[in-house]
Amino acid sequence: MKILSSLFVMVVLYFSNLNYALSEGDLYDKKIKIPKHSILTLIKGMSSNNMGLKISCVLTASEYRIEESVETLIYLLKNSDESDKIKLAVVFALYNIRTNNAISALKYATEDDNSPSVKIMASIFYYNLFRNNNITPVYKNYTIVD
């Protein structure tokens, strides 16, 4: 329950500070360099049995909008064995990453997920993307280095 409450607070803060973040753009204007092995480790962490590590990796992929993690995120979303806490973090990450596959997975979650809370959160994010018939583009803010 504590993780779910924290995730909800994070989502509320995200939306309340969205205009400020987009106008200031410190993190999103500068391209950062991420080593390839770090991305692979992040994706491997999403397959861990440790729920805290898994959620942290999902939220890190969300923060930096790691497009390479979308396949793993979709797998986590469609895996019926995953907890709602993980699926809610995945929905948030897919919303932030916004590739075509991520948006399709959000739509899937609005219709076919077994959990009502995941369906509701996915619906909020999915329909927010299409508010005013315009998807706000998200640009890759990192480069992969060896």
Domain boundaries along the sequence of the chain = 2-145
Tell me the angle at which helices 2-16 and 84-97 cross, rounded to the nearest 10 degrees: 20
Q: What pTM was computed for the model? A: 0.77
CA distance 99 to 71: 11
Q: According to CATH, what is the number of the domain 2-145? A: 1.25.10.10
pLDDT digit string (tens) for the chain, length 146 residues: 666 655 554 555 555 555 444 444 545 557 888 899 999 999 999 999 999 999 999 999 999 999 999 999 999 999 988 899 999 999 999 999 989 999 999 999 999 888 999 999 999 999 888 876 666 666 677 888 87
